[in-house]
Structure 1
Amino acid sequence: MGFLRGVVAALVLVVAGCSSLPTIAPDIAQPRGTPVRLAGAHGALSAEQSKVILTRLQSKGTPTDIFERHLALEEAIVGNPLTAGNQVRLLQDGPATYRAMLAAIAGAQDHINMETYILEDDAVGQQFAQALVAKQRQGVQVNLIRDSVGTLGTPAAFFQQLADSGIQVLEFNPINPLLARKSWELNQRDHRKLLVVDGRTAFLGGINISGVYSGGSRKPKIAAPAEDSLAWRDTDLQLQGPVVADFQKLFIATWEAQKGPPLAAKNYFPPPERVGQQVVRAIGSTPDEPFSQIYATLLSAIGSAETSIRITNAYFAPDPQLLAALKAAAARGVDVVLILPSQTDSWLVFHAGRRYYEQLLQAGVKIYQRRGVILHSKTALIDGVWATVGSTNLDWRSFLHNHELNAVVLGTDFGSQVQAMFDKDLAASDPVLLADWQRRSIDLRLKEWFARAWEYWL
């Protein structure tokens, strides 16, 4: 999204070192039968209370032992417990998400913590800037983390107006090494999109603050628009309940790791309250950890799938382990369906991922391409009961180099909402058929070959 960001991305390829994705070994799994424990508004729930909630979540779905075989492993990977008593709202596309976010900002009483990759100086960005400045002037402390590469095209004056109002603005891993507050880590980027209001409401997903999201993705079109005017299709979550504290901790941890100034004394962790029935886990990944928790969790979920896998993702350039997991799931009879872009704002990732279509199709994985939009969603649904929404793409950059943020939501109630959203996108997508794909042009094959050489960095 922008020429300057593309130039910096190319620079990253030159200066960055190499690392590799982990092999997720089975010995990190807890023994079969290990009880999964939940946390609630007042702390850890008993084994009996946890069992009642998990049984309720599973009772309406297709018979599966995903909870026995998967959840204990996921908890071992992530560390923090599943949290009960939450309310989760599924938000689709920019207009609906922005309305909800701005309403929450307008109602803030104590503090606003915001973390974003892109924050444009356009009509949408100015709308958010004015809303944040207004709350700061009312005595609500606003703390903002913005990624240096993601906001490269945003004028310094835009952030200066925020700082002049009293908002604390922290630039994540500055491009300029003279501004680095720790070791210069140009290749590590903050790709998270997080808004926490008063420690009680959180928003997260794939949506940046940019005018490209101003239009909804399902408006009828008389004629096919130019690619640079296509609507953007994305997904976010609005959460309330005890899990918000986990997202707040992740924001504060990033702030402190980046050596930001001391945060103003505010009520960042109000007493948690039970506000709904949803069981949620917050997952944040950073390159500083031995492996991406989101990557390991997704592999675990795919490996535990018994009936269905539904993935929608904007940037698909899988590493060998993820590729093998998808093919193995299809081989054991799981219905694996991927919705991927038909058009994109990232040419290299787009063609790098297409290199794997043929072997996935041969393995029985179904692939569809979303038409008429720039697909930017990052969602997955396993067996109708395990769902995740967040900022994580299915490419090497997200798993190795980026700070990412996802929520995992359990249960058939939310799963049915994600399935309905998936079905709508599927109806607006075209299937990729093996016979047709094998006849693709030499031009496409050359693009795939060229992009393949760069996929580690994309």
Structure 2
Amino acid sequence: MTRWLPRWMLVASILLLGGCTALPRVVPDMARGSGEPQLQGGRGPLSAARSKQILEGLRAGGKETDVLDRHLALEAAISDSPLVAGNRVALLLDGPATYQAMFAAIEGARDHINMETYILEADEVGQRFAAALIAKQRQGVTVNLIRDSVGTLSTPKEFFKTLTDAGINVVEFNPVNPLTAKAGWEVNQRDHRKLLVVDGQTAFLGGINISSVYSGGSFSQGSKNDRPGNKQPWRDTDLQIDGPVVAELQKMFIATWEKQKGKPLAPRNYFPKLTRQGSEVVHALGGSPDEPYSVIYATLISAIDSAETEILLTNAYFVPDPQLIASLKGAVARGVDVKIVLPGATDSALVFHAGRSYYDELLAGGIKIYERQNALLHAKTALIDGVWSTVGSTNLDWRSFLHNQEVNAVVLGKEFGQRMRAAFDDDLAQSKQITLEQWQRRSPLERAKETFGRIWQYWL
């Protein structure tokens, strides 16, 4: 739900503005931490003794102890944002489960709701969200909304006027019209984050936009002909997080609000005292084109380069850069099992075929590729060595790493990794494996589509 918008507008703007940015070269030393990672909780850094106790709990009973230690060290070294302990993380699969949890959190809000989204449609689902947010605003709960200008380009202005008339504060991220831009005209920089923070205590993030395309689940056995409009369901993954790491996600929302020159936020308890809600160690990562490099990209590459047994990737828009390809092939050469689940159908032909143009090289390098059937795949997840998991808004393409604001959460530990593996296995069961022999027999027309798609890969 990212790629259907008018591409010619973005491409034309990029060509006019000029300039090409390069992806960062990840230095191997970035993946090597020194000493024990220090964890953080709801009241700042934990004591060395408490950090040690939590880490020992993560390591308890299992042959993955050493690999977990290495991934913990990597996470501590790769960015300035802290590893935060004491969180409860729910894995949400597809629209119905995610929306149900989001509406429950909105209904329970007592102080404020901060929402950031790429797409917000004025369809049935969008109207439900609007009604829920307006109802809370009228109850005295402050509602702040950031919506991307390009992502909401087809949403009628009247939809947002209804929100603002009800008192909801709405910021348009990098307006397409330079005459209305408040933060400078950066039309190619988009806010692709999907983030909902309620009362500073509960957060949702992942790949899901606000749209009726998510109304159905993707794991039913019925054919697409059984569904309204003869359309495939959308397959996505999100997280609900309760606990101290929500403060880090709240900081990201407020930083974007201020950078986009939204009107001063109403005084609210945006950073309440947060207590332990669970046992998960979470690293909140925000990517922004304003930063020297994408921390999300650097973290992923470093995790792949540190992988010892297995890499499981699921991604909607896959147009890999040379460094990512080299890291995946290097992992196979070390004996790591690399599997990637990609879409078998798409809402963006250019991205679809640009990504497929790399299948030859990846398959020849020993990477196993599967295409998801019976659903339109929109999830962006990874599981490495069974202990390093990430879910977020970030696609494995140039746009996500260079031009978009993105948000991901890394969850460390084998217990959550087992839940991620179950979800991956479910997708794998509904996917078709692509073999090198089969792929090399594809038609000249398919090859031509791939060539054309690759020409535009940097801007897609």
TM-score (norm 1): 0.96
2:284 to 282, 286, 290: 282
Structure 2 residue 165 is matched with structure 1 residue 164: yes
Q: Which has the larger displacement, 6-15 or 439-448?
A: 6-15
How far off is 1:177 after superposition?
0.1
Q: Which has the larger displacement, 10-19 or 152-161?
A: 10-19
How far off is 1:362 after superposition?
1.3
Structure 2 residue 301 is matched with structure 1 residue 303: no
Letter in 2 for 1:196: V
1:434 to 433, 436, 455: 436
User: For 1:3 and 1:347, how far apart are their aligned partners in 2?
Assistant: 10
Aligned to 1:133: 134
Q: 1:136-285, aligned counterparts within 5 Å?
A: 136-222=137-223, 229-285=231-287
How far off is 1:41 after superposition?
2.3
Letter in 2 for 1:313: N
Change (3 A) 1:160 1:3: same
Q: Would you say the 8 A contact 2:4–2:347 is kept in 1?
A: no
How far off is 1:355 after superposition?
1.1
User: For 2:106 and 2:146, how far apart are their aligned partners in 1?
Assistant: 16
Letter in 2 for 1:49: R
Aligned to 1:72: 73
Letter in 1 for 2:30: I
How far off is 1:225 after superposition?
7.4
Aligned to 2:392: 390
Letter in 2 for 1:407: A
Aligned to 1:358: 360
How far off is 1:48 after superposition?
3.2
User: For 1:225 and 1:180, how far apart are their aligned partners in 2?
Assistant: 45
User: For 2:193 and 2:68, how far apart are their aligned partners in 1?
Assistant: 28
Change (3 A) 1:5 1:225: farther
Q: Would you say the 8 A contact 1:73–1:300 is kept in 2?
A: yes
Change (3 A) 1:175 1:93: same
State the number of aligned residues: 457
User: For 1:88 and 1:271, how far apart are their aligned partners in 2?
Assistant: 18
Aligned to 2:374: 372
How far off is 1:217 after superposition?
0.7
Change (3 A) 1:281 1:218: same
Aligned to 1:9: 10
Q: Would you say the 8 A contact 2:204–2:239 is kept in 1?
A: yes
Letter in 2 for 1:126: Q
Structure 2 residue 24 is matched with structure 1 residue 22: yes
Which runs of 4 or more aligned residues in structure 1 lie more than 6 Å from their structure 2 counterparts after TM superposition?
225-228
Letter in 2 for 1:34: G
User: For 1:454 and 1:131, how far apart are their aligned partners in 2?
Assistant: 40
Aligned to 2:88: 87
Change (3 A) 1:411 1:70: closer
How far off is 1:349 after superposition?
1.0
Q: Would you say the 8 A contact 2:10–2:187 is kept in 1?
A: no
Change (3 A) 1:3 1:250: closer
Q: Would you say the 8 A contact 1:5–1:150 is kept in 2?
A: no
User: For 2:50 and 2:372, how far apart are their aligned partners in 1?
Assistant: 42
Task: Encode CA deviations 1:323-348: one digit per residue, 9 max, x unaligned.
Answer: 10001001100111100000001111
Aligned to 2:348: 346
Change (3 A) 1:228 1:256: farther
Between the aligned residues of both structures, percent identity stands at 63
TM-score (norm 2): 0.96
Q: Would you say the 8 A contact 1:207–1:236 is kept in 2?
A: yes
CA RMSD of aligned residues (A): 1.7
How far off is 1:4 after superposition?
4.6
Change (3 A) 1:214 1:26: same
How far off is 1:241 after superposition?
0.4
How far off is 1:208 after superposition?
0.2
How far off is 1:137 after superposition?
0.4
Where 1:65 maps in the other structure, the secondary structure is: helix
Q: Would you say the 8 A contact 1:224–1:372 is kept in 2?
A: no
How far off is 1:183 after superposition?
1.8
User: For 2:198 and 2:430, how far apart are their aligned partners in 1?
Assistant: 35
User: For 2:394 and 2:384, how far apart are their aligned partners in 1?
Assistant: 16
User: For 1:374 and 1:123, how far apart are their aligned partners in 2?
Assistant: 20
The answer for unaligned runs of 5 or more in structure 2 is: none
Letter in 2 for 1:201: T
